[in-house]
Amino acid sequence: MGGSEIKPKRLQNRDMNPELTVDDNRFRRRFERFNEIGATERDGVDRPSLSDTNKEARDTLVEWFADAGLAVTVDEMGNVFGRTDGTVPNEPPVLFGSHVDSQYNGGRFDGVIGVLGALEIIETLNEENVQTQRPLEVVAWSNEEGVRFQPDMLGSGVYTGTFDRGYAYDRTDKDGHRFGDELDRIGYKGDAPAAGDPHCYFELHVEQGPYLDENECSVGVVEGVYGFSWLNARFEGTADHAGPSPMHLRHDAMVATANVVTGVRRLTAATGTDLVGTVGSIDVSPNSINVIPETVEFTIDLRSYDNAVVDEAVSQVRDEIRWAADRENVAWELEEIMRVDADPFDTDCIETVARAAETVGAPSMRMVSGAGHDANYLNDVCPTSMIFVPSVDGVSHTEDEYTAWKDVVVGTNVLLQAVCEKANEE
């Protein structure tokens, strides 16, 4: 009697397989171990882009990718890839992942679950002897957060041709360190060109808003990302002594600004749409307790999933600024410094995620993202969608960020099903 030959099992069709699930314990051990790197006293992590802790996180990833049998590549932007072969040679891969750079004193889940979840999927498929038709490629993008080097999402931005490499290398942090030099310093300026031709892209990420938590859903099927307008505004009045200047003779740039700040809040409440608006940065001069403010420069961030709503909001903010300037008799300027249209994801990828959630039995809801992600840039070059898991109380970008582990696992199982389906399609 001959020994039975162990054959690799293969997924032959697009049917999803609910029996296939990730290993909760292995995944959790990895997650805890990974977040010892740059751990803060208050249960967060401090691994800003190209810092020493970010290097350590990358080193750990590279080691784990290799241990899982992945062929590791670091491209010229420091994006880290790990790839498996498919059964059909030379097919474009299914790409999935996220980022492992963090905010200063940021959370443990943001980005990390998308990368370690991707690795856990590879381990699961290895263990079950599942080989997909297309290659699978997991990725950790460089500089997603944009806290140390602006703009954010530099790694995926160069990969997709949104930025050129020279522009990215020349970004500097507040101490004047160049992105390119820091990449070199930590040993992650790779040789591979930052470019690729994936079959599709999926990203698992924490929601960073309250909707899944409020609706007690484990999974968000993300249909797209809000568009936005960034405005720079400026009022110029007259500086004068805060004592002898009678109120009726003042031209106070701060009073005009205050009108606009509350105007933006009124506007968002009045439209009955999904519009959100924020005055997030104010620079007042001379900024002195006993001098009437002469100039104020401030920013306005307006977002909606409907581009027409953003258009209308910009024009209403312009009116608010003009009226405020008239009332206070100050000069005004308004400039739109950035406009990004709403970004609907690929219908087929969205439906794949929805089916995957159903297969896994995860309570899910459809939603759009208020925050930008690497997935936005990927959506320009290949079919893309995202999977969200709940952020408790909607909190992120702080050490208090928290997602229940069971939701991380459910979200990863949804990603697993979606990846397998796409990796077995023509």
- Residue 126, CA distances (Å) to 88, 129, 282 in order: 17, 5, 53
In whole angstroms, the minimum distance from the beta carbon of 27 to Zn ion comes to: 18
In whole angstroms, the minimum distance from the beta carbon of 44 to Zn ion comes to: 14
Q: Which is nearer to Zn ion, 111 or 135 (CB)?
A: 111
- Tokens encoding 298: 């401030």
Q: Which is nearer to Zn ion, 111 or 209 (CB)?
A: 111
3-state SS class at 303: strand
Look at residues 135, 101, 145, 136 and name the one whose alpha carbon lies nearest to residue 118.
136
Residue bearing tokens 């959506």: 379
In whole angstroms, the minimum distance from the beta carbon of 376 to Zn ion comes to: 12
Does 111 engage in binding with Zn ion (CB under 5 A)? Answer: yes
The pattern of x and - marking residues 64 through 103 that bind Zn ion according to CB under 5 A reads: ----------------------------------------
In whole angstroms, the minimum distance from the beta carbon of 327 to Zn ion comes to: 41
In whole angstroms, the minimum distance from the beta carbon of 209 to Zn ion comes to: 13
| Residues 116 and 31 sit within 8 Å (Cβ to Cβ) | yes
Look at residues 374, 415, 396 and name the one whose alpha carbon lies nearest to residue 108.
396
The CA-based angle 206-92-11, given to 5 degrees, is: 75
Stretch in the footprint of Zn ion (CB under 5 A) among 54-62, 79-87, 111-119, 244-252? 111-119
| Residues 205 and 219 sit within 8 Å (Cβ to Cβ) | no
Stretch in the footprint of Zn ion (CB under 5 A) among 104-112, 130-138, 284-292, 316-324? 104-112
Q: Which is nearer to Zn ion, 115 or 292 (CB)?
A: 115
| Residues 320 and 259 sit within 8 Å (Cβ to Cβ) | yes
Stretch in the footprint of Zn ion (CB under 5 A) among 60-68, 107-115, 128-136, 344-352? 107-115
Residue ranges in 321-350 that form contacts with Zn ion under rule CB under 5 A: none
Q: Which is nearer to Zn ion, 102 or 413 (CB)?
A: 102
Residue ranges in 220-249 that form contacts with Zn ion under rule CB under 5 A: none
In whole angstroms, the minimum distance from the beta carbon of 205 to Zn ion comes to: 6
In whole angstroms, the minimum distance from the beta carbon of 216 to Zn ion comes to: 23
Q: Which is nearer to Zn ion, 116 or 330 (CB)?
A: 116
Per-residue DSSP letter, 69: T
Does 203 engage in binding with Zn ion (CB under 5 A)? Answer: no
Does 110 engage in binding with Zn ion (CB under 5 A)? Answer: yes
Q: Which is nearer to Zn ion, 38 or 111 (CB)?
A: 111
Rounded to whole angstroms, the Cα distance separating 171 from 179 reads: 5
The dihedrals phi and psi of 330, each to the nearest 5 degrees, come to: -125, 160
In whole angstroms, the minimum distance from the beta carbon of 144 to Zn ion comes to: 6
Rounded to whole angstroms, the Cα distance separating 253 from 353 reads: 50
Q: Which is nearer to Zn ion, 111 or 383 (CB)?
A: 111
In whole angstroms, the minimum distance from the beta carbon of 110 to Zn ion comes to: 4
# binding residues, Zn ion (CB under 5 A):
2
H-only helix segments in 105-231 = 112-127, 154-159, 165-169, 179-185, 211-214
| Residues 356 and 421 sit within 8 Å (Cβ to Cβ) | yes
Q: Which is nearer to Zn ion, 110 or 328 (CB)?
A: 110
In whole angstroms, the minimum distance from the beta carbon of 100 to Zn ion comes to: 10
Rounded to whole angstroms, the Cα distance separating 362 from 415 reads: 12
Does 293 engage in binding with Zn ion (CB under 5 A)? Answer: no
Q: Which is nearer to Zn ion, 294 or 407 (CB)?
A: 407
Look at residues 277, 280, 358 and name the one whose alpha carbon lies nearest to residue 310.
277
Stretch in the footprint of Zn ion (CB under 5 A) among 55-63, 110-118, 125-133, 272-280? 110-118
Rounded to whole angstroms, the Cα distance separating 25 from 23 reads: 6
Rounded to whole angstroms, the Cα distance separating 186 from 308 reads: 44
Q: Which is nearer to Zn ion, 145 or 294 (CB)?
A: 145
Burial class (CB within 10 angstroms; exposed 0-12, middle 13-18, buried 19+) of 177 = middle
Q: Which residues bind Zn ion (CB under 5 A)?
A: 110-111
